Each structure stands twice: as structure tokens, then as C-alpha cells.
Chains A and B, each alone.
Chain A
């Protein structure tokens, strides 16, 4: 099984390799710049483990695990 944004720990740096656009909410997240090739840092998860906080190019974005699962990533560090 491949690694997704939902499987990371604080401090992990990854690159998006594939976005599964089946979900409308995922498509909306792509409008914030979450596309293939972009590098991200996983910052933290909120109280109770959800939603997640990620950082890309100076912007912090939060999303739920449910959507994070659709972003397939690879480690860069």
C-alpha cells in the first residue's frame, strides 16, 4: 500500500506523486495548490487526531484525514 498524506508524522517532508480526484472536496483542495510534484511538510494533527495541518510554499493548509487519504506521496527526507 502506498503512502498518503494521512499516514505522516509531524516533521515528515513529502512530495505529492498522485492525487485521486474522485472526491469533490479533494478537487477543491487542489485549487489551493495541492498538485502532483509539490513538496509538503506535515505539521501536526488537531485534537483527537483530525483534521491535519500541512505546510506548502509558506502556506498552512488544514484538511481532514478523509481527504488526505487521496493524496499519494513519497518521502523526500
Chain B
């Protein structure tokens, strides 16, 4: 026994003899019951939480200690029973049943139960108690239950559940956490008595099977045999054991599906329990209930969804512009200030043209990112994301998919990486693959700055009716992304991924007014992630790109510049001289850039993009942004910082006036549209490719997606240049 344990203030009756140094405790429960919220509360971590089922799709662990007792807490995907259907549920069940090799085993489990959905959760609770590991129950959403007039008699419930500890909490506010923590300590330090099975017939049959096994095979745990009796995907190496299992399954279930037999058994008991321990009164405030019913009606819900979307797209420009201008002017001002402070030379160029022009031009999109995430968080926390899945199921069916794909696809508006992870909830492999390939088409938050830069620079800020044109164009680009993804999924489901029609079922979350504190914390976290990215990856890229544009220094250009200076000073005066000197500076800077490494490689790849009407600078920026889209802004920022006129302080102004040698603008209408379409459809994201490889288990699908999307983006931009 470690000395730490003995200093516990809680009265300890009997310590279990084999208490490990750090007890690992799993949070288990139905989807959307508040596991991750509780996990975050206890560990201080920032697991994603949202109001729809299937938010957590992987195992995560965090550390905490209560009264100096160290605990490893494990957050798991939600599940309704120990018979898993989808990848995320399989993870939970494997962890609980110690099916994974090389993983620490679970010492205890916390059954997380949404107090408003007691009935649905009691099946899993029965199964958990039967695993014969210490289990306690925590009732969450007590605040919502009160609102709804639902009361649970904890004493009665505890008696029925063979005396396991039960506490109630409000995970979002932290109410009830102190009691919860002290109960948790008791759970892992006190003796936990054996519990009876809630389904004795199944237990007896499993014990019978185990008794028939030879000595060395008898190590197969009873609960694993029980699961095998129900879940035909469980396999044992031993053929005699498999034989026993399938004959016993036959006698247990006759011709019924074993899962249905278990559901009937478990939920019949759940129903009896709920009838004994739960009392319902009418909801506290009738109008909330009435309002919820109203806005959940299909047509109002759809209209509200589009209204919210329209408001956000308007807001991205209307609200963000003043803020952006402020950041923009601040960065430009800082640049000019440093330029004045430092002597002209390498250091000044690195800071002004590299860091400030590169990183600064990305940072100014922070307000837009915040507004976008506000929209996403509202969708997630009200429960609308799941409602959208319900509303669009019929439309998705005509594509060969189901509403189930909608949640991962809408999540990809933030980033395709979590979107692709979220496809784990889709049971069928083909549907899951089609959704994975469609996900990178959704307009992610890294595309937003690229769109915003080009739209703000080239789309007039006028109104059409009461809608802002810039907002409309942005909306159009989102639709373009959706169209690309939907079309691709449609083709795939008709060819390589042809399969049976997917079914659809979903536990719809209750509509909830988002918790202000939660929303603000999530927004802050988003801002932090964005700024951190700008300060690390983008900073790194900006410095490299600057170095590539600065070196090698050409002696001949410098001496030519000196000669031109002297000639000008000898022949011109005052204003004419000023203008002439600036011209000389700009020409020297442009010549230097075009013979730099960046210029040379840009000119090397330029022929590939020439048919699209792009110059070598755009080509270089586009190529550099294949690992991450928003890099294009940093690169353009650095490239166009070189030789910029003094009155063109911002990147937007600089690209507006960039011109070819003959004076025509580089960013012509076809070039701008071509770029937008290219960014809408091209797969320029190393992280997405990596996650695709991991989730599909090979390079085949990511390579296909990359080639297909790049060709699609290129062809579309080519077509645009050809048409306009």
C-alpha cells in the first residue's frame, strides 16, 4: 500500500489489496449524457462537448487526484449497450471488456446517466454492474430534469441496483461535484462486493459453458461468454467454445435475434425500475416546452436553419469588417513603425516583409473565424445539428447516403479532420467512406480567410435588396463546396461504394438554449487555436518563404540600382527625383524577387498554372499552400510586401493593384473566380490526408481523394479562365 493512500481523509473501511498506483476509471454512458462535460470539469481538459449524440469518438484519458489519490479518468464514446454497431461504440466496449492488448485495464466505471432519459440508460447500467468491476452511477442534467418536472428517487434506485453508489450533479455548473468526488474515492478504495446478474438465465448459461471448458481455456471470463451469446461478432480461438456458444445461443433465443432478446429482457426491467423510482410533473415553464415544439416542426426548423446561416454570412462581412480594419491598420502601422526604427537591411526585411506581412495578413481574419465558430457552436449546442440530420435524411437518401452523414459533413465546416473522425458513428463501411471523401469539400475554417481576402478585395461592398453582395458570394462558395461533396458522394455510391440502402436512426437531442459560459469558453478556445497556428506553422512558413524570396542577393541588381540612383540624383530634382527613386527601388525589388529562389521556383512551376491565367507569384503561393490552405495568404503577403507602394499598406490593396508588365491587372475577374473555385474544391491540407489514411487504414483513399480533388479544382479554374 502506498503511503499516499493512507493519508486519505475519507474514512476507509477496507482497502482492496491490489490497489494500483493510479486507478483508471472510465466514464461510460449513453451518447449525449454529459460524459465529456464531466470529464472536462474533473480533469481541466478541453474535450469537445456538444448537444448531439456521437461527439466523442475516441478514447481519451486525463489525470486528476482527489485527496491525494491519483486517478486516471477515461472519457469514452457513448453507447446504448455492450453490443456495438459502429466504430466508436466498438472502442467503448473493447475498453470496458479489456479486449485491447497493450492497454491498461479499467479498474472501475462511472455510469453517466442523463436524469431525463433514465429509461434508455438502464440497459447499459445493468450490463455494467454485471461486469463485476466497481461501478457507481452519476445522474447528470439534474437542472434540466427539474425544469421538466422529473424527479428520481435515488434511495429506491440504489436499492434496486444492488446498493451501488449514486450521486447527482449538474456537470455544466459544477453543482454536486464535491459529493461526487468523495463518492468516487470510496468507489476505488473500498471493498466492492460481488453483484448478482439482472438476467440470471444468461449468467447460468455462460457459467455452464465455462464449466465445460478444459482447464487452460477456463480463463475466458464469464461476461465475455455472455457477450458472445448475444453478439455474434465476438469470436474465440477455441472452436469447441464457439460450438458451445452457438448451440446455447440457439436454446436461449430460439429463432429471435439475440440482440432483440436482450433488449426485451433489459428494457422490461428498465421500465419497471422507472415506474418505481421516477415521478413526473408537468414542466416548470410551459412556454419553453411549447416554443420547442413549435420550432422543432419540420418547416419552421428548416427556415430557422437557413435564416441563421444567412445572418452569419452577412455578419462575416458586416460585423467583422470594422474589427478587421482595426487589426489590419495596426499590423500595417507596426510594420511601418519598425521599418522606420530599423536600418534598411536583412533584419528589417525579415520582420516587416516576412513576419508582419506573412503572419499579420493571416491574423486579421480572427474576427471572421470567431463569427464562423459562433455559428457552429450555436448549431452544436442547441441541438440543431442533429435536427438537420433528421430534416435532410430524405434528401440524403436520394444520394445513396442517410441523415447520419449530415453531422460529420456539417462538422467539417469547422475542419475536415474532426468531421472525418465523426464518421465513426456511421456503421456501414461504404457509407462511411463516401462521407469521408465528401468531407474535405465542405468549406472549412481554413478556407474562410482565403475567401474573405479575395471577396473583400474584389467583390463590391454593395447591397442586393437587404442582402450584402459579399455575404452572398461567400454563401455561394459554401454551396459550391457542398455541391462538390454531394456530387462526389453520389458518384461513389453509384460505383465503387455501391451497397445496400443505409438505414437511419438517431436519438434526437432536446432543444436547449446554449449556456453562455460554455459558448464563450469554446469561442476563446477557438481563438487560441487560430492564433497558435498563426504563431507556429504560419510563422514558420512565412519566415521560410521570406528567406526564399530574399536570397540569393544579386550583386548586379544592387550595383545597377546604385548607378540608377546616381544618375537620377544628377539629373532630377524634388518631386520628380522622389518618384524616380521610388521607381528604381521598386524595379530593383521586383528584379531581386524574380531572381530569388522563390522567384525561380515560382517561374519553374508557373507553366503548369499559366493556362489558368495565374502569374508565377500566385502559382508559388498556391503550391506552397498544399500542406495547409491559409498559407497562401502568408505567402501572398510576403511576396506582395516586396516593392509595395507606401500607400498600399494592406495585402488587400496590394493584390488589387498588382499588375503585369503591360499594366493589366494580375487579379482579373477570371483569375479571382478561378482561384475561389480552385480553393473550394482542391484538397490542400496535410492533416486531412493524414486522418484519411488513419481512418480508412491505408493510402488508397487519401491518394484518390487528393488526385481527384486537385484535378477537379484545376479543371474548374481552367474552365473559368476559358469561359470569361
**Chain A residues proximal to chain B, CB less than 8 Å:** 19, 21, 24-25, 27-33, 35-38, 43-51, 53, 56-64, 66-67
Contact = CB atoms under 8 A, between A and B. Distances in A.
B271 interface: yes
Given A31-B83, A38-B267, A51 B257 contact: no
Contact of A57 (B119, B403, B503): B119
Interface stretch (B68-76, B388-396, B679-687): B388-396
19 contacts: A25-B505, A31-B123, A31-B259, A33-B123, A35-B263, A44-B296, A45-B298, A46-B394, A49-B394, A57-B119, A58-B116, A58-B148, A58-B150, A59-B119, A62-B393, A62-B506, A63-B505, A64-B505, A67-B505
Contacts of B118: 57-58
B298 A46 contact: yes
Given A35-B267, A59-B117, A60-B507, 5 more contacts: A30-B263, A51-B403, A61-B508, A62-B390, A64-B505
Given A48-B394, A59-B507, A28 B116 contact: no
B274 interface: yes
Contacts of B297: 44
B393 A64 contact: yes
Interface in B254-276: 256-257, 259-260, 263-264, 267-268, 270-271, 274
Interface in B73-110: 80-81, 83, 85
A35 B264 contact: yes
Contacts of B510: 60
A70 B506 CA distance: 17
A36 B264 contact: yes
A27 B507 contact: no
Given A19-B260, A31-B263, A47 B403 contact: no
A48 B403 CA distance: 13
A62 to B, nearest CB: 5
Contacts of A50: 393-394
B80 A31 contact: yes
A45 B299 CA distance: 11
A6 B649 CA distance: 64
Nearest to A57: B119
B506 A61 contact: yes
Interface secondary structure of B, over-half rule:
helix
Contacts of B395: 47-48
> Which range holds the interface residue count of chain B?
35 or more
A37 B265 CA distance: 12
B503 A64 contact: yes
A38 B392 CA distance: 28
A66 B119 CA distance: 25
Interface in B218-276: 256-257, 259-260, 263-264, 267-268, 270-271, 274
A32 B504 contact: no
Given A30-B264, A33-B123, A37-B271, A47 B150 contact: no
A57 B505 contact: no
B302 interface: yes
A46 B390 contact: yes
Greatest chain A CB density within 10 A among B150, B293, B503 is at B503
Contacts of B298: 44-47
A44 B116 CA distance: 21
Contacts of B504: 51, 62-64
Contact of A56 (B116, B119, B256, B264): B119
B294 to A, nearest CB: 11
B301 to A, nearest CB: 9
Nearest to A63: B505
Contacts of B293: 43
A16 to B, nearest CB: 11
B120 interface: yes
Contacts of B259: 27-28, 30-31
A73 to B, nearest CB: 16
Interface centre among A32, A37, A38 (most CB of B within 10 A): A32
Contacts of B403: 51
B258 to A, nearest CB: 9
